[in-house]
Amino acid sequence: MSIDAGPRLPRAFDAGLAGQFCRLDRSGAPPIALPVRRWRADANRSDRWLLRACQGPTVDLGCGPGRLVAALAERGVPALGVDSSDVAIRLCRARGAVALRRDVFEPLPGEGRWHHALLADGNIGIGGDPVALLHRVRGLLSRRGSVLVELTRRSGLWRGPARLVASDGSDSGWFPWAQVGLDALPAVAASAGLSVRRSRAGRRPYAELTPTA
């Protein structure tokens, strides 16, 4: 089923990236508070699973202010952040991380050669169609590459219009978004030609996906 939820908005996350407390309104589902402090902070222990999985050139899709890109670079792992927001790219570069302002669905450097692609902090929701996104991300990977995804603690798959509402009352406008729980991931991944190599449940659930033969 395709959901017509409107256009992708390149600046939808800007209020949160700039440090305002934000909630995410989801059509037909309860709103959720967004971890904007984590986006702007340095990488911490809860990012370790993701960081350890990246053993070669890594592209961080929807990198935000770039804590993971910077942490990978510090570990000697070549890393590129990609984000559609000027605010994100400015913050990224200010902390010394390499970043490109680009929509993830547009052509990117190194297509077919990345060892890892990161979709951290719910970014599997970008575009509102996780199968289409993972299919696109699969095209970025080398033959033995992997996608590292962070999932929601909630079960199932939610897709629909969402918007950010900031503490000053401003909102982003509605854009298509999605959330994927660990239980829903195998079917979503399989539809994109990927399979779940390993996963970790917990406060921040993660999974590593690899191309199926």
Ligand X SMILES: C[S@@+](CC[C@H](N)C(=O)[O-])C[C@H]1O[C@@H](n2cnc3c(N)ncnc32)[C@H](O)[C@@H]1O
Q: What is the binding site for ligand X (CB under 6 A)?
A: 8, 13, 17, 39, 62-64, 82-85, 88, 103-104, 120-123, 126-127
Q: Which is nearer to ligand X, 171 or 190 (CB)?
A: 171
Letter for the amino acid at 59? V
Cα separation of 62 and 213, whole Å?
27
Task: Please name the residue that has the structure tokens 């792992």.
Answer: 77
Q: Which is nearer to ligand X, 64 or 211 (CB)?
A: 64
Q: What does the DSSP 8-state code read for residue 181? A: B
Residue 160 · residue 146 · CB < 8 Å? no
User: Which SS3 state, helix, strand or coil, does residue 76 take?
Assistant: coil
User: Which SS3 state, helix, strand or coil, does residue 203 take?
Assistant: coil
- Work out the number of other CB atoms within 10 angstroms of the CB of residue 16: 24
Cα separation of 44 and 149, whole Å?
17
For the bound state, the minimum distance from the C-beta of residue 213 to ligand X, rounded and expressed in Å, comes to: 29
Residue 199 burial by Cβ neighbours in a 10 Å radius (0-12, 13-18, 19+): middle
For the bound state, the minimum distance from the C-beta of residue 115 to ligand X, rounded and expressed in Å, comes to: 18
